[in-house]
Amino acid sequence: MSDDTPSTGLGATAPAPTSPAPAPTDATLRGAIDAAALRVARTKATTLVEALPWLEQFRDALVVIKYGGNAMTNPELKAAFAQDVVFLRYAGLRPVVVHGGGPQIQAMLDRLGLESEFRGGLRVTTPEVMEVVRMVLTGQVGRELVGLLNQHGPVAVGLSGEDAALFGARRRGTVVDGEEVDLGLVGDVETVDPSAVQDILDAGRIPVVSTIAPDLDHDGQVLNVNADTAAAALAAALRAKKLVVLTDVEGIYADWPDRGSLLRGLTVSGARDLLERVDTGMIPKLEACIHAVSRGVPQAHVVDGREPHSMLLELFTKEGVGTMIRPDDDETEDETGEGSPS
């Protein structure tokens, strides 16, 4: 035995030390697991598991979403909204998006030098303004939203309330200081034929609807209709499971502007009682929720569109983040109780 040969001391030669086996050339080395990263991963897994009861219940459920407010103008919020809608589709729900476009309409009117007039909180729509409304809603806002959704796959199809007679509307006025005021080419949805939307859903895609409607009393004329009420009418016609209305506040308040009076849930009767006490901008949204639930939509939600992914938080977490309106005979939650997937 040579002097430099390692020995065990028992007359046997110790094996020479070996180098670690090299990783396969197509492998990625993980190394030691980082405890902080593991905690983050566990939190994500817990969130996914928490959503499981809702995912089970809402599979194949049709959800109509009214898209508006700051979520339409902030690039990050627009991207987050598109992610949420596509997530719903890939999670097995059937989302339908109905959009307005007030900020974009106003920006285009200003660019063209056309003055805007509002009476009773509603835009007076002249024939010249109507041309801009039609162009912006269908040709700008709708196309942009379809493009955002389609960044995640060929999932979205845009259409107008004019297409296949989806909506039919009649002119409406308003009352200001006790007097009737003519609003021009502004209407209320009177008829809904959801067959075109249903065809798109049956093809596995997401309908994106702009709120222009043919005038039922004047052939060839179109009317500007409120997106909140149009979404509610479509939700009822489609027998949707839910109506979700995005807005620029956290939800519905029992005593606006007391932020501590935010409601988690209330019945249709409770919503009607609040109509005279809520902020003016909330009235059409609350009326839309009442309309939808009164006509068979089981639940309507008012959600803060300024919060990224608020729609997912409302639909798929126990706590929720907005306000849910339900039928009077639904006792699944009270105004301060927690939501339930059942």
Binding residue positions for substrate: 101-102, 123, 224
Binding site, annotated residues: 101-102, 123, 224
Orientation of helix 195-202 relative to helix 227-238, angle to 10°: 70
Taking the C-alpha atoms of residue 72 and residue 144, their distance in angstroms, rounded to an integer, is 10
Taking the C-alpha atoms of residue 163 and residue 171, their distance in angstroms, rounded to an integer, is 19
Rounded to a whole number of angstroms, the distance between the first and last alpha carbons of the chain is 80
Taking the C-alpha atoms of residue 334 and residue 294, their distance in angstroms, rounded to an integer, is 18
Q: What's phi and psi for 84, nearest 5 deg?
A: -60, -45
Q: Are strands 323-326 and 265-267 parallel, antiparallel or unpaired?
A: parallel
What distances in angstroms separate CA 138 from CA 98, 133, 161, 287, 330, one per listed residue?
11, 8, 9, 25, 38
Q: What would the 3-class secondary structure string for 101-140 be?
A: CHHHHHHHHHHHCCCCCEECCEECECHHHHHHHHHHHHHH
Taking the C-alpha atoms of residue 337 and residue 318, their distance in angstroms, rounded to an integer, is 10
Query: Counting beta carbons within 10 angstroms of the beta carbon of residue 270, is it exposed (0 to 12), middle (13 to 18) or buried (19 or more)?
Result: middle
For residue 206, give both structure tokens: 């997401």
